[in-house]
Amino acid sequence: MTARPSLNPIDLILKKRDGGNLTRTEIAGFVDGVTSGDIPDYQAAAFLMASYLNGMNGEEMVGLTHCMLHSGSVLDLSDIPGRKVDKHSTGGVGDKMSIILAPIVASCGVPVPMISGRGLGHTGGTLDKLESIPGFSTQMSIASYRQQLAEIGVVMIGQTDDIAPADKKLYALRDVTATVEFIPFIAASILSKKLAEGIDALVLDVKFGSGAFMQSETQARKLAQTLTDLGEQFGKRTVALLTDMNQPLGFAIGNWPEIAESIDCLHGKGPEDVMEVTLALSAEMIVAGGKASSLEEGLRMAEASISSGRAWAKFEELVARQGGQLESIQDPAVRTKGQAMQDIHAQQSGTISHIDARIVGRAAVSLGAGRVKKEDVVDPRAGIILSVSAGSEVQVGDVIAQLVASTSDRFEQAASLLSTAFEIGSEREIGTSRIKDRYSDGKWLNP
């Protein structure tokens, strides 16, 4: 990186506090300071909040993305055959799609270089989920990353010191400063990581609703457009699906519980809503990777990879290659031996009209499945297993969910919170598609 003149972080904080717009040089100075450690966390946090409250214009967002991208190495994977395609989700309660679709897409011949993050707020992170597999390592040198992608077609790691190091620091701070939902930060964070991976195309899963960071559909649409247009501006084919996250995805929430459900999905036995979104995203990736000429063909290829066992075999190969114990994924019940469990019962009879995904996510975090502070240690086995979904009929005393964790220390608090997530009425909700729209080439499919 070219040396840039040092800037006083107080001046940058004051400028954003007072509603000013930063120049590219000022943004570069901030990013360099965060990366080097010259700007301490408390000043970076102040800058994040000032920007959140007063906004960033388009030029600032592009500048922030560019500077975060070039805060470390930008990989060139052109020597590895095939169009490299990744997927990114903006996060949601029970969102385990990356773990399922990476081996699906790779088994269809599309290289998948995936650099993921940890949990933010009430939603889980792919790295935390993968690391709940005993022995699985998400840390890898760039040389090993390249070698594994070339040899087996898929690699799933966390950010290294070489890949967008500024984002690695700011990502953790956003989680604990209530600045996660700010669109320019989200866009710069996602794109700086993804562009640095060496990808040729990117598929986005932009979620809205109580279980997502974007609560409103309007804001989620804005984020999808921002991300897609920004990705195209950096020369990468980018498409976004808009998905409903008002209720938890699937039945498992938590790191190991979601791995276990992902294993079911790779064996063709996953929850319908999880599979709907996973297969749609997989089809987009297969088309973007040039292995299918239409989404219909891509969907058929994804489904065939599961039914044939190729997707599962690729997942086993991925786990083994990154140090994970195959026994734990081949027999998931072994992982849950000795864990604490507590059933949650229905307090009235009727039909489950709604399950508040945000409350379920918060309850899982209170069990230890996520972080309140960035230093918190996650319990890999903690989580919630739902026994019902919207539309389920229940009687008083029926089990509607189960708490699981390494110990029962936090069960009382989590149970009290989780009990408020279920709305029971008299009308049965008719299931609808989780996928609400698609954005590409500057337009929505269903405007």
Residue-wise pLDDT for 324-334, tens only, equals: 999 999 999 98
List residues bridging with 343 in a β-sheet: 402
Residues 252-274 have a mean pLDDT of 96
Considering the domain architecture, whether residues 90 and 218 belong to the same structural domain is answered as yes
Backbone angles phi, psi at 436, to 5 degrees: -100, -25
pTM over 0.95: no
Residue 340 has a CB neighbour count (10 Å cut-off) of: 16
What pLDDT shows up at residue 2? 46
The CATH number linked to 112 is 3.40.1030.10
CB contact at 8 A, 438 and 295: no
| C-alpha to C-alpha distance for 414 and 291, rounded to whole angstroms | 45
Considering the domain architecture, whether residues 222 and 343 belong to the same structural domain is answered as no
Considering the domain architecture, whether residues 145 and 44 belong to the same structural domain is answered as no
**381 is annotated as an active-site residue:** no
- Tell which residue, 392, 305, 323, 396, has the closest CA to residue 355: 392
| C-alpha to C-alpha distance for 329 and 259, rounded to whole angstroms | 8
Considering the domain architecture, whether residues 39 and 128 belong to the same structural domain is answered as no
| C-alpha to C-alpha distance for 298 and 318, rounded to whole angstroms | 22
- Choose the final residue of a domain: 330, 362, 382: 330
**Above 80 in pLDDT, residue 175?**
no
Residue 40 sits in which domain range?
A: 9-55
**373 is annotated as an active-site residue:** no
pLDDT tens readout for residues 180-197: 879 999 899 999 989 998
CB contact at 8 A, 136 and 323: yes
H or E stretch at 343: strand 340-345
Q: Pick the catalytic residue: 16, 66, 88, 381?
A: 88
Residues 304-311 have a mean pLDDT of 98
Q: Is residue 136, in this structure, part of any structural domain at all? A: yes
Residues 281-298 have a mean pLDDT of 98
* Strands of the 383-386 sheet, one edge to the other: 252-254, 383-386, 399-405, 340-345
Considering the domain architecture, whether residues 264 and 195 belong to the same structural domain is answered as yes
Q: Is residue 114, in this structure, part of any structural domain at all? A: yes
Question: What's the structural domain count of the chain?
Answer: 3
List residues bridging with 345 in a β-sheet: 399
What pLDDT shows up at residue 1? 46
Residue type, 433: S
**174 is annotated as an active-site residue:** yes
Residue type, 396: V
Considering the domain architecture, whether residues 250 and 313 belong to the same structural domain is answered as yes
CB contact at 8 A, 366 and 440: no
Considering the domain architecture, whether residues 281 and 411 belong to the same structural domain is answered as no
**207 is annotated as an active-site residue:** no
DSSP strand pairing (393-394 vs 340-345): unpaired
pLDDT tier, 374 (very low <50, low <70, confident <90, very high otherwise): low
pLDDT tens readout for residues 414-433: 999 999 999 998 776 566 89
Q: Is residue 1, in this structure, part of any structural domain at all? A: no
The CATH number linked to 376 is 3.90.1170.30
The CATH number linked to 43 is 1.20.970.10
Considering the domain architecture, whether residues 267 and 387 belong to the same structural domain is answered as no
Report CA-CA distances (Å) from 269 to 81, 129, 273, 316. 33, 19, 12, 17
Q: Render 182-249 in DSSP notation, one character per residue.
A: -HHHHHHHHHHHHHHTT-SEEEEEEEESTTBS--SHHHHHHHHHHHHHHHHHTT-EEEEEEEE-SS-S
What pLDDT shows up at residue 432? 82
Q: What percent of the chain has pLDDT over 70?
A: 95
Mean pLDDT computed over every residue of the chain: 92
**168 is annotated as an active-site residue:** no
Q: Pick the catalytic residue: 193, 237, 321, 358?
A: 193
Per the document, the length of the chain is 447
Q: Pick the catalytic residue: 98, 189, 305, 392?
A: 189
Q: Pick the catalytic residue: 86, 167, 200, 273?
A: 167
Q: Pick the catalytic residue: 16, 146, 169, 174?
A: 174
Residues 367-392 have a mean pLDDT of 87
| C-alpha to C-alpha distance for 84 and 236, rounded to whole angstroms | 11
